[in-house]
Amino acid sequence: MNFTEIKEIKDRIMRGYEITRAEALELSKSGHIEALYYSANQLRAKFCGFKFEMCSMFNVSRGACEEDCHWCPLSKLSTIDYASLGKPDFDTILERIVKLREKGVHRIELSSINHVISDEEFDKIIAYYNTISQKSDIGLCASLGTLSLQQLQRLKDETNVKRYHCNIETSERYYPQVCTTNDIHEKYRTLLDAQKVGFEVCSGGIIGMGETMEDRIDMALKLRELGVKSISMNILFAFNGTPFETHQMPGSQEILTTFALFRFINPRAQIRFARGRSQIKIIEKEALQAGINASAVGEILVAAKSTDIDNDIQVFKSEGFIL
């Protein structure tokens, strides 16, 4: 597509149009990348304004995992001995959460590595959330696997959690290449059930697992179909000891184009930096002008590096965002 065609599609989206898969594919092949990024930024400004959300994540169930997610250092395929670290101390997590809120972080998410959570573990997590609510007014999110409808209802009724997160990771076509021990349709079911009981939902995937741009577009379209309004954009961190340890990160232009396409397909969503963000610092400001309007900061799960929140805040504000 040329500059005029990109602008025409952007203007139609601003009037309420939803682009098709074929149009998104044509956009991905455009040589006018600056026009693509500029238009994505205009869509963000039109539908989301300049408000920027910061969130942080804590794993509360460290240990052995029976899933074979090929990207994950905690999976049963990984040779990394994270299980030996034991379960994280909740008092330490609580202290960090309070400090994160003081820094201006809007939300925290407690996560579990387990695909299925026992009733005993679930009771503990509910107690964690209620303790956090007593100590801080920070927004609460949960990422606890494919919970049953009954568990989701309990979480809604018994805590102040407002948003449920479950990444679909990639396209339906490519998912069997990255995980075989669970079904992507269970993830879809979880997101729909979470909305059914009254949660906002957050979902997204990982860029750089060997998927095509078509797979990424299909993932973005599926997120639109599922009604996801908070989309996490992870960049694969190729941990040594995982099946994906030799994967090469996509180039900067490919990553920026992916961000922009997600904005074209999901113009009203929060589209956020998530895991692997430390690898794309060189293009961070460009991404903030190509559709991104939220970010994970600080504690990023168990296996990724913490970020400098003060520096993050300075960068986000310098690009015109309001925190």
CATH number at residue 88: 3.20.20.70
- 185 within domain boundaries: yes
Phi, psi of 144 (to 5 degrees): -120, 30
Per-residue pLDDT band at 76 (split at 50, 70, 90): confident
- 20 within domain boundaries: no
Identify the domain containing residue 250 by its residue range.
Answer: 50-318
| Predicted pLDDT of residue 203 | 98
What mean pLDDT do residues 62-70 have?
79
Q: How many domains does the chain have?
A: 1
- 25 within domain boundaries: no
Identify the H or E element spanning 273. Answer: strand 270-273
Does residue 218 sit in helix, strand or coil?
helix
| Predicted pLDDT of residue 64 | 66
Per-residue pLDDT band at 72 (split at 50, 70, 90): confident
Largest CA distance in the chain: 58
119, pLDDT greater than 90? no
For residue 218, what are the CA distances in angstroms to 105, 258, 295? 31, 12, 23
Residues 128 and 121: their CA atoms lie apart, in Å, by: 11
| Predicted pLDDT of residue 117 | 81
306, two tokens? 């913490």
- 131 within domain boundaries: yes
Per-residue pLDDT band at 78 (split at 50, 70, 90): confident
258, pLDDT greater than 80? yes
| Predicted pLDDT of residue 74 | 79
85, pLDDT greater than 60? no
- 43 within domain boundaries: no
23, pLDDT greater than 50? yes
- 141 within domain boundaries: yes
Residues 223 and 24: their CA atoms lie apart, in Å, by: 14
The whole-chain average pLDDT of the chain stands at 92
Does residue 107 sit in helix, strand or coil?
strand
Phi, psi of 312 (to 5 degrees): -55, -50
Does residue 212 sit in helix, strand or coil?
coil
CB 139 within 8 A of CB 200: no
CB 26 within 8 A of CB 264: no
- 6 within domain boundaries: no
102, two tokens? 């003081």
- 34 within domain boundaries: no
| Predicted pLDDT of residue 198 | 98
Judging by beta carbons within 10 Å of its beta carbon (0-12, 13-18, 19+), is residue 165 exposed, middle or buried? buried
| 99-114 residue pLDDT tens | 999 999 999 999 987 6
In the chain, pLDDT over 90 holds for what percent of residues? 77
Per-residue pLDDT band at 304 (split at 50, 70, 90): very low
194, pLDDT greater than 80? yes
Does residue 289 sit in helix, strand or coil?
coil
- Which position has the higher pLDDT, 134 or 304? 134
CB 275 within 8 A of CB 245: no
What mean pLDDT do residues 184-206 have?
97
| Predicted pLDDT of residue 302 | 45
